Amino acid sequence: MNQPGMLPRASLLIFLLFLRSNGLAQSPQDRFINVNGLRLHFLDWGTETKPPLILLHGIGRVAHTFDHLAAHFSKDYHVIAVDMRGHGDSGWSADGAYLVEDYVKDIEKIVRQEGAVFGEYPDYEPGHYTFLADYLPYSTGDGMEHRNSTVMTEPASIASNRRRLLDTVAHEFFHGWNVERIRPRSIEPFDFERANMSSELWLAEGFTQYYGKLIVQRAGLADPRATAEALTEFVESATVAPGRAVRSAEEMSRMAPFMDGGITVDRTNWPNSVTSYYSLGGAIALALDLALRGRSGSEITLDDFMRAMWRVHGKPGGSREGYVDRPYTTDDAQARLAEVSGDAAFAKDFFDRYVRGREVADYARLLQRAGFSVKKRDGGRAWWGDVRLDARGDGARVGAVVPANSPAYAAGIDQDDTLTQIAGERVTSADAVNTVLSRHRPGERVTIAYIDRTGATRTASVVLAENPHVDVTAVESAGGSLASAQRAFRDRWLRSQQ
């Protein structure tokens, strides 16, 4: 174990700043090593018996970057500075697959595809847009949009989490239009002294969430399986999440001040009454995009709606730098949809049902046009709810709010109850419950014995249901054939727009 303040025996450091070494000077030895057929150069200071300290440079640097710094550490460590492949005296990969360089090329593809959605880029005040990425083991995952830049942090590497990192890139860059310039009136100007409650975050964040996934696909950076997983997340947020029956998309948006970084003192029932406006807004965007395409033969799409929002509310800009003179309301967004679709009745119906109301779109029908199917994940399997159980000596304790749309909730099971038996069998864990349920069918009734949160011993009768969770899959991946009309629809939706 390392003592506080001491470096571990083998340390990997990436230095972005230079330190002076108080005049210490020691010439390194030039060495080479072959790794996977590639000749790599490194500089070697110190003695092999000392603990190794490996120095890696950043983009545009070389091993000699550390000449002065390494001399300082060489008294106590065996210091090695590596020329990364394609840098300094190291060789170049024959296939040209350079991690950071390729990642930048991926970002360029995203930037071009998003520019194609709006037909142009915003006038960035500095004359350019900057991506600031901190991918470090001790970072927390986040992305924050600004008018002319974004800051993205993740405790992950480009090598192992490339697509997920690119999802964040696509999401945050899209905000350069949507939110930073196409801005809800409820948060323009933003008040830094009190909570800002907005009814439009389903569009500001939710539509951005949808486009983040869509753009990565259009840029050729996601395979069909990853896209199907994203579609599944959107569909489930609208069809399975219990909060959808409690609050509309507008009402979900107004919950942001209470949930986004807010800390509650008491327990809440938010898992049953709130659905993220990111995923729910993404589901609404998906439904609207497919509906527009279906009714127009793909001649009118959500891209047209976003361009209309940009033309009327974003591009005019503001009389002062950083401000927006024509922010929008939900009524404004409905008016833009009426203009784009040429059908005010359609626009009103869509907003009344899915934005102001709590109805759920027919995703199976909408996705079928593109050759995707929506099927039960565990069709025919008994389900009593997505109940979190924590093992205890006397049974399995319900460790979280029980979903309100579950048979367990209907039977009166609640958080902090401890299950002792199900269908006459002793319960010790969630696996034990699943084993028992696997022997039953939807519609059957099972008896549960439990100790409720007051300490009283009780029994409940649970009528099992079919597991409601769904998966979105491409028809060809399930052994079906993609019709020519479906392929044409899908290509116009998911292929590059350049």
Q: What is the pLDDT of residues 112-134, one digit of tens each?
A: 999 999 999 999 999 999 999 99
Indicate the length of the chain as a whole number. Answer: 498
Last residue of a domain, one of 374, 396, 418: 374
| Residue 256 pLDDT grade (very low, low, confident, very high; cuts 50, 70, 90) | very high
- Residues 354 and 395 grouped into a single domain: no
Q: Give CA separation, 429 vs 393, 413, 426, in Å.
A: 10, 16, 9
Report the side by side order of strands in the sheet with 130-135. Answer: 130-135, 149-154, 142-145
Selected residue with higher pLDDT from 457 and 92: 457
For the record, the structure tokens of 1 come out as 């174990």
Question: CA angle at residue 199 from 120 to 470, to 5 degrees?
Answer: 85
Mean pLDDT score, 134-138: 88
Same domain, yes or no, for 433 and 314? no
The pLDDT tens digits for 463-483 are 999 999 999 999 998 888 999
Can you give the CATH number for the domain in which 188 is found? 1.10.390.10
CA distances from 131 to 1, 144, 153, 169 (A): 37, 10, 11, 8
Question: 364 and 394: one domain?
Answer: no
Label each residue of 96-156 as H, E or C. CCCHHHHHHHHHHHHHHHHHHHHCCCCCCCCCCCEEEEEECCCCCCEEEECCCEEEEEECC
Domain boundary among 358, 374, 390: 374
Q: Read off the tokens for 464.
A: 């099992």
Predicted pLDDT of residue 60: 65
Question: Six-digit token pair at 291?
Answer: 């509906």
Q: Output the pLDDT for position 98.
A: 58
Burial of 10 (0-12, 13-18, 19+ CB in 10 A): exposed
- Whether 386 and 365 map to the same domain: the answer is no
Q: Which of 339, 356, 374 is the last residue of a domain?
A: 374
Evaluate whether residue 479 is within a structural domain: no
Q: Does residue 96 sit within a domain?
A: no
**Rounded CA gap, 445 and 463, in Å?**
4
Is residue 412 domain-shared with residue 362, that is, in the same domain?
no
Candidate from 83-87, 142-146, 256-260, 288-292 with smallest mean pLDDT: 83-87
Do 194 and 270 belong to one domain?
yes
The lowest-confidence range among 58-62, 89-93, 210-214, 385-389 is: 58-62
405 closest CA partner among 385, 382, 376? 385
Whether 364 and 389 share a structural domain: no
What is the sign, positive or negative, of the torsion defined by CA atoms of 462, 466, 467, 468?
negative
Which tokens belong to 303? Answer: 């891209």
Task: Give 405-459 pLDDT, tens digit per residue.
Answer: 999 999 999 999 999 999 999 998 888 899 999 999 999 999 999 999 999 999 9
Least confident of 70-74, 122-126, 189-193, 377-381: 70-74
387 lies in the same domain as 364? no
Is it true that the peptide bond before 316 is cis, omega within 30 degrees of 0? no
Judge whether 92 lies within some domain: no
Using CA atoms, how far apart are residues 402 and 328, in angstroms rounded to an integer? 38
CATH number (domain holding residue 441): 2.30.42.10
Res 25: pLDDT: 47
391 or 177: which leads in pLDDT: 177
Per DSSP, the three-state class of 46 is coil
- DSSP per position, 417-472: -EEEEETTEE--SHHHHHHHHTTS-TT-EEEEEEE-TTS-EEEEEEE-EE---EEE
Average pLDDT on 362-380 reads 96
Q: 370 and 247 in one domain?
A: yes
- Per-chain mean pLDDT for the chain: 90
Q: Is residue 4 part of a domain?
A: no
List Cα–Cα distances, 459 to 99, 389, 408, in angstroms.
59, 17, 12
Q: Residue 317: CA atoms inside 13 Å, Cβ hemisphere, count? A: 10
The model's pLDDT over 277-314, given as tens digits with 9 standing for 90+, comes to 999 999 999 999 999 999 999 999 999 999 999 999 99
Q: Are 55 and 66 in contact (CB under 8 A)?
A: yes
- Would you say residue 2 has pLDDT above 50? no
Band of residue 94 on the pLDDT scale cut at 50, 70, 90: low
User: Do 182 and 128 share a structural domain?
Assistant: yes
Q: Report whether pLDDT(12) > 70.
A: no
How many other β-carbons are positioned within 10 Å of the β-carbon of residue 319? Answer: 8
| Predicted TM-score of the model (pTM) | 0.82
Per-residue pLDDT at 1: 36
What is the number of domains present in the chain?
3
Q: Which tens digits make up the pLDDT trace of 48-58?
A: 888 999 998 87
In a domain, 317, yes or no: yes
Average pLDDT for 182-203: 94
Q: How far is CA 139 from the centre of its chain?
A: 16
- pLDDT value at residue 71: 80
Give the domain range for residue 59. 11-82
In a domain, 6, yes or no: no
Check whether residue 311 and residue 388 sit in a common domain.
no
pLDDT at 234: 98
274 domain-assigned:
yes
235/135 same-domain check: yes
Question: By C-alpha distance, which of 495, 469, 476 is closest to 235?
Answer: 469
Establish if 57 belongs to a structural domain.
yes
